[in-house]
Amino acid sequence: MATNIPIGVRTVSSVNPATGEVLRELECAGDDEVIAAVSRARAAQKRWADLSVRNRIAVLREFQRRLLEKKSEIATLITCEAGKPRSEALTTEVLVVLDAARFLIDNSYRLLRDEHLPHGNLAAKLKSGQLIREPYGVVGIISPWNYPFSIPATEALAALVAGNAVVLKPSEFTSLVALELKSLLHAAGVPQDIFQVVVGDGGTGAALIHSEIDKLVFTGSVATGKRIAAAAAERLLPVVLELGGKDPMLVMDDADVDVASSAAVWGAFVNAGQTCLSVERCYVHRNLYQAFLNSCLEKMKKLRVGSGLDPEIDVGPMIHEHQLEIVEEHVRDAVARGARVLAGGTRLPDLGRNFYMPTLLADVTHEMCIMREETFGPVLPVMGFGTDEEAMRLANDSEFGLAASVWTRDKKRGEILARQIHSGTVMVNDVISYFGISEAPHGGMKASGIGRAHGRFGLEEMVRLKYLDSDLMPRMKKVWWYGYGANFARQMEGFLDFQFARGIWKRLSGAMRAAGLVKRRRL
């Protein structure tokens, strides 16, 4: 596609990872452009916030309608730019955003309205308290390439319905999807300055971080997240950080091998393994170990790898060669340390430079990079265990804590084990799909990040909480004000006994000693 970008200007290229075709070359937004975008957003935000929540919900309803109409072409664009099969673009991206809009349409008015706060303290009974939720102002979002539509859209919709303006910096690999999101939102009625996209590279993202935004939502690597947290700390900028995972899958001794193996194959290879919620560590009870491997192997033989635009394809390309090289290095390290490659382990150059065969590794250990570092590719590493206690120890032996899954025929047992796993989410007999449950919060602990997206807690991330207190007796001086006098301490002791002592006689005695508090002279 021809461009008119001046010579010497920084650019990013949108490239189809399956074919290598350059879809479009775009100019990077410089520091001044980012600052100007944030300034425009700030100037426009008050008018947007002054709209009623119901009016903003109406805009989301129109966005949802338009997205449904354009679902096919948006899914195709996602496939062209990110590589995933078109069916996955529909299920893991378009469906997720449509349902996120549904949740906000149905619940935002209730969750954002002022909330009466009752007071239990007798001393505060003559006060009326309210919790008020106010928008931050301008929310900056830096989103990744692996889910270029669902991640920024769900975050932006929550920010917008709460009354914020949004400046989005998408991954340089998937700028076109972000620009399509912008077009949809503007067509639905979001003012142009209320939702803006600044296209660019890491320099553009750094400019957004250091601009006068009021909150930042970042999804990406741990290393980048730590740098962002350090930069945000300089001015106490609030942040939400979703930094990936190394999610364990625990197949207990009573699990259904057929079901669990199907889940492992899908959970490890969906989006070519480029999912923060991928099954990246699989632990199987030794009684089922060989049967589980055999079942995975048989199912993997049926997977079809190729361009995501082909409706028969199950697994598409990786986003770029650098990410593929990380996968290769992890597999080489595992093999060098004793792991067995049961399937895959090689590139597929006949399909293109970014294709890697879905890979099954057996006999892995925690000394291998494949079980310690985020691989983010189509590899399923499997390790055996003997007891529930060993399974818990292995699952929690990670710097990450995003999500996990437990597989057992006994629901109660699964839930007991789930409570022992250190992660933001644990699914019993399913993987990944909670990301599509709009009511469920998404986020982790440890190196997996800070804060939550989606649902009520994701919406709460987009507002400042203010407590409003109104005194119901404005002409009465408060009993705890100055003018203490000799009897004040004795009266207060009586008041404390009246409110908190155990036993009716102690309370009555306290009430008698406190009786003079109201008549006490105050300054």
Residue-number span of the structural domain to which 97 is assigned: 33-243+457-466
Shared domain for 193 and 140, answered yes or no, is yes
CATH code where residue 66 lies: 3.40.605.10
pLDDT of residue 8: 64
Shared domain for 324 and 404, answered yes or no, is yes
Tell which residue, 264, 259, 262, 269, has the closest CA to residue 249: 264
At 484-511, the pLDDT tens digits run 988 999 999 999 999 999 999 999 999 9
Shared domain for 429 and 298, answered yes or no, is yes
Pairing of strands 379-385, 165-169: unpaired
In a domain? residue 18? no
**DSSP characters over 177-240:** HHHHHHHHHHHHT--TTTEEE---SHHHHHHHHTSS-SEEEEES-HHHHHHHHHHHHTTT--EE
pTM of the predicted structure, to 2 decimals: 0.95
Give the pair of three-digit tokens for residue 337: 């340390």
d(CA 195, CA 204): 17
Cβ pair 282, 257 in contact under 8 A: no
pLDDT of residue 3: 56
Shared domain for 258 and 360, answered yes or no, is yes
Q: Give the CB-side neighbour count of residue 344, counting CA atoms within 13 A.
A: 32
In a domain? residue 11? no
Q: List, in order, residues 6 or more apart from 69 with CB less than 8 Å away.
A: none
Long-range contacts of 287-290 (CB under 8 A, 24+ apart): 287/253, 288/251, 288/253, 288/255, 288/257, 289/382, 289/384
Q: Is 104 exposed, middle or buried (0-12, 13-18, 19+ CB in 10 A)?
A: buried
In a domain? residue 128? yes
In a domain? residue 12? no
In a domain? residue 311? yes
Handedness of CA 391, 245, 328, 151 (dihedral sign): positive
Shared domain for 131 and 277, answered yes or no, is no
Per the DSSP assignment, residues forming a β-bridge with 452 are none
Phi and psi torsions of 51, nearest 5°: -65, 150
Indicate the helix (H) or strand (E) that contains 334.
Answer: helix 321-336
d(CA 63, CA 86): 21
Longest dimension (CA), the chain: 93
d(CA 32, CA 8): 17
Cβ pair 2, 164 in contact under 8 A: no
Q: How does pLDDT run along the chain (523 residues), one tens digit per residue?
A: 445 666 667 999 999 999 999 999 999 999 999 999 999 999 999 999 999 999 999 999 999 999 999 999 999 999 999 999 999 999 999 999 999 999 999 999 999 999 999 999 988 989 999 999 999 999 999 999 999 999 999 999 999 999 999 999 999 999 999 999 999 999 999 999 999 999 999 999 999 999 999 999 999 999 999 999 999 999 999 999 999 999 999 999 999 999 999 999 999 999 999 999 999 999 999 999 999 999 999 999 999 999 999 999 999 999 999 999 999 999 999 999 999 999 999 999 999 999 999 999 999 999 999 999 999 999 999 999 999 999 999 999 999 999 999 999 999 999 999 999 999 999 999 999 999 999 999 999 999 999 999 999 999 999 999 999 999 999 989 989 999 988 999 999 999 999 999 999 999 999 999 998 888 888 8
Cβ pair 287, 253 in contact under 8 A: yes
Q: Is 473 exposed, middle or buried (0-12, 13-18, 19+ CB in 10 A)?
A: exposed
In a domain? residue 137? yes
Q: List, in order, residues 6 or more apart from 419 with CB less than 8 Å away.
A: 426
Shared domain for 170 and 231, answered yes or no, is yes
pLDDT of residue 157: 98
Per the DSSP assignment, residues forming a β-bridge with 428 are 406
pLDDT of residue 4: 64
In a domain? residue 134? yes
pLDDT of residue 2: 44
Give the pair of three-digit tokens for residue 265: 């194959």
Give the pair of three-digit tokens for residue 408: 């057992």
Give the pair of three-digit tokens for residue 153: 């859209």
Shared domain for 267 and 142, answered yes or no, is no
Where are the alpha helices (H) located in 113-149, listed in sequence order? none
Active site amino acids: 242, 276
Shared domain for 462 and 392, answered yes or no, is no
Instruction: Give the chain's domain count.
Output: 3
Q: Please give the C-alpha separations between residue 304 and each of 86, 91, 264, 379, 432, in angstroms, as whole numbers.
A: 14, 18, 16, 15, 21
If one counts every other C-beta atom within 10 angstroms of the C-beta of residue 242, the result is 26
In a domain? residue 370? yes
Shared domain for 217 and 341, answered yes or no, is no
pLDDT of residue 1: 45
Per the DSSP assignment, residues forming a β-bridge with 347 are 356
Shared domain for 388 and 488, answered yes or no, is no
Shared domain for 306 and 386, answered yes or no, is yes
**DSSP characters over 380-413:** EEEEEE-SHHHHHHHHH-SSEESEEEEE-S-HHH
d(CA 133, CA 462): 9
Shared domain for 294 and 398, answered yes or no, is yes
Handedness of CA 383, 388, 394, 399 (dihedral sign): positive
At 109-143, the pLDDT tens digits run 999 999 999 999 988 989 999 999 999 999 999 99
